[in-house]
Amino acid sequence: MDKIDIVNICARGWSLPFLVAMVRGESGRMSTLASALNCSRTASRDTLLHMLEHDLIQRHGGVGHPLRPEFTLTEKGRMLGNSLEPALPQMADDAMTLIRLKWSVPILVALDAPLRFNTLARALPQSTDRALSQTLGRLEGSDWVDRRGIQCNLSGREDW
């Protein structure tokens, strides 16, 4: 999976928590996932549609009510969920809040080496300068990034 895939998948903040919940055996129904993760129905619907669009989940054929479909993980979704499963459940609540921000994961993925702000902005052309600046500020406030030559600072984190 390349950086562009990760950026696209994380465009919905609940995508990663939903994947991990489904890998752990949570039912693939919208209401069940929304309840388990304390997510609004609108956000869960939009997240499931987003995950369906990116081939992370598929409709569970022939089962359930047509207005309340059930979803299962695709192979791509299962691989990503299995790789994230050990890290996400151990995160503190503030860390999960940061992960659910739209640009947190794309920024962390782009920061495989120290970058200047303009270089980072060019690496994430879909974002605005304001969104990048605010997300970098929140990541820096939690010691996830270091602004001097903007670089990722996650090694040795207890909440990661």
Is the whole-model pTM more than 0.75? no
Residue 10 and residue 81 in one domain:
yes
Residue 80 and residue 14 in one domain:
yes
- The total of structural domains in the chain comes to 2
- 71 lies in a domain? yes
Average pLDDT over residues 58-71: 71
Q: Which of 90, 120, 70 is nearest to 17 (CA)?
A: 90
How high is the mean pLDDT of the chain?
79
Residue 140 and residue 74 in one domain:
no
Residue 47 and residue 109 in one domain:
no
Q: Per-residue pLDDT tens for 109-126?
A: 888 788 888 888 888 888
Length of the chain measured in residues: 160
Q: Tell me how far apart the alpha carbons of residues 19 and 110 are, in angstroms, rounded to a whole number.
A: 22
CB 38 within 8 A of CB 26: no
Q: How far is CA 142 from CA 64, 95, 97, 154, 160, in A?
A: 43, 8, 11, 10, 11
Residue 68 and residue 107 in one domain:
no
Q: Which of 140, 144, 139, 141 is nearest to 154 (CA)?
A: 144
CATH number of the domain that residue 63 is part of: 1.10.10.10
Q: 44 lies in which domain range?
A: 3-85
Q: Per-residue pLDDT tens for 1-39?
A: 666 677 777 778 788 888 888 888 888 888 888 888 888
- The model's confidence at residue 155, banded by pLDDT at 50, 70 and 90, is low
- 159 lies in a domain? no
- 102 lies in a domain? yes
